Amino acid sequence: MKVLFISAWYPNSVQPLKGIFVKKHAAAIKAAGNDIQVVAITISYSSKTFERKIYSEVDENGILTHHIEINSRFYKWIHLNLFFQYRAISKYVEKEVIPTFKPELIHSNVLYPAGILGYKISKRYNLPHVITEHWSKVDKFMSQSLFSYIGKKAYNNAKSVTVVSDFLKKSISKHITNTSSIKIVPNVINQKVFTFQPKVSGNSIVFTCVAHWTNPKRPDLIFNALNEISKESNKSIKLNVVGEGILLEKLKPLKWNFEINYLGNLIPENLAKTLQQSNYFLHASEIETFSIVIAEALASGTPVLASNVGAIPELINSSNGVVVQNDIQSWVDGLKKIITMNDFNLKKISEACEKFSLANIGNDFTKIYSE
């Protein structure tokens, strides 16, 4: 199948990690034998009034990727100008993609703006359209945006809408008449990097947490709960903190009763090693539509304690971890519970994550395309 893959959440020269999970979906589609090209239209903050960068590259997965980058101090206004974005992408697709590639299907990612842009392009060329949704704010968009009417058209004219979790499926179902068109296709985990390694026992309990530490993450729950159990534990408590963000900066100056290693941002190989050397993974958040970091921890054979919100309970059960409510006492109780659970089969925890592999996700999309 020749697939034109459209996204506004995609790595670019200004934000190299933006939408990396979307790029992994593209890699999975390619790995399954489909012929895919990507058009990424991204809008980023810049000190400049306006800058447009248009270029193409073949990425590390062998995918020809067309970048339309718009950088401006007025990026928020440009993001709201759907008509400007459509003119930019439709003109490029007409001149640079259609004449040589001739796609059989449009696959766009996230309703606004790419899902709507993909819908209009699919209508123009009379091609079937698939939308993949990652966005937790679809309800807000549908109730407040001037473009909600065309958003509903995009959803309801798509041959299929895929979501990364059952939680997100339930969230968008109210906006789609034919709910049978909604399919669950999870995010991709790199099974070659995040692999099982036996844990080494010692005199300390090692925890790791990973996030971009801004809302809706809750590092305060992790720090305060660990502070409480460190007073009672007969083993030393160590916490590896991966990532950066304003919420973390508020906690760093405070005094804590446990050892903290601030590791900053890590490349996947170093993150995998950190997870493999940890006894438990902690994730506190107010909302999650999937949580790649939890899946990566599980793929590494590391049990998880996490917030009972969003899609997290779909990933965690009694065989691989514990979910708790978002208050300090629940987190303290959860920590006490998980460190006394001695029946975790760490290898089986890792093996259960095979469903998130590049091959399986690629096959899921290919089946949807065929249908």
pLDDT digits (tens, 9 = 90+) for 171-204: 999 999 999 999 999 999 999 999 999 998 888 9
- Residue 209: name the closest of 237, 242, 234, 236 by CA: 242
Statement to judge: residues 218 and 310 lie in one domain? yes
pLDDT of residue 68: 98
Which pLDDT does position 202 carry in this prediction?
A: 82
Residues 68-75: what's their mean pLDDT? 96
Whether the pLDDT of residue 111 is over 90: the answer is yes
Domain boundary pick from 156, 185, 214:
185
Query: CA dihedral in degrees (338, 340, 344, 347; nearest 10)?
Result: 90
Same domain, yes or no, for 46 and 166? yes
Residues 176 and 258 in one domain: no
Q: Is residue 213 located within the same domain as residue 180?
A: no
Residue 350 has pLDDT above 90, yes or no: yes
pLDDT single digits (tens) 235-271? 999 999 999 999 999 999 999 999 999 999 999 999 9
Q: What are 169's two structure tokens? A: 């499926």
Residues 180 and 246 in one domain: no
The verdict on 107 and 242 lying in the same domain is no
Amino acid 234: pLDDT: 86
> Quick check: 92 pLDDT over 90?
yes
Answer whether residue 216 is part of any domain.
yes
Span 114-134, mean pLDDT? 98
Considering the domain architecture, whether residues 344 and 244 belong to the same structural domain is answered as yes
77 and 11 fall within a common domain: yes
Say how many domains are in the chain: 2
Residue 148 lies in a domain: yes
pLDDT at res. 349:
98
- Residue 11 half-sphere exposure toward CB, CA atoms < 13 A: 13
Residue 39: pLDDT band (50, 70, 90) is very high
Determine, yes or no, domain membership for 371: no
Rounded to the nearest angstrom, the gap between the alpha carbon of residue 309 and the centroid of all alpha carbons in its chain is 16
- Same domain, yes or no, for 120 and 68? yes
Q: Is residue 368 part of a domain?
A: no
The number of C-alpha atoms within 13 Å of 110 and in the hemisphere containing its C-beta is 21
Contact 297, 275 (CB under 8 A): yes
Query: Do residues 173 and 223 both lie within one domain?
Result: no
Instruction: Examine the domain organization and report whether 308 and 209 are in the same domain.
Output: yes
**Does residue 47 lie within any of the structural domains?**
yes
Residue 32 lies in a domain: yes
Same domain, 236 and 341: yes
Task: Please tell me the predicted confidence (pLDDT) of residue 53.
Answer: 96
Domain membership of residue 321 (yes or no) is yes
Which sign, positive or negative, has the C-alpha torsion 44, 84, 11, 351? positive
pLDDT of residue 103: 98
Looking at 185, 218, 242, which one is the last position of a domain? 185
- For residue 107, CA distances in Å to 133, 154, 215, 358 come to 11, 12, 29, 18
Place of tokens 């089969």: 345
In this prediction, residue 355 has a pLDDT band, given cuts at 50, 70 and 90, of very high
Average pLDDT over residues 54-75: 97
Last residue of a domain, one of 141, 156, 185: 185
Cβ atoms of residues 335 and 314 within 8 Å: no
Quick check: 144 pLDDT over 90? yes
Residue 190 inside a domain? The answer is no
328-345 pLDDT per residue, tens:
999 999 999 999 998 899
Reply yes or no on whether the pLDDT at 287 is more than 90. yes
- Report the chain's mean pLDDT, rounded to a whole number: 96
Print the domain residue range for 22: 2-185
Q: Mean per-residue pLDDT for 287-295?
A: 96
DSSP 294-340: HHHHHHTT--EEEES-TTHHHH--TTTEEEE-SSHHHHHHHHHHHHT
CATH code for the domain of 154: 3.40.50.2000
pLDDT of 216 above 90:
yes
pTM of the predicted model, to two decimals? 0.93
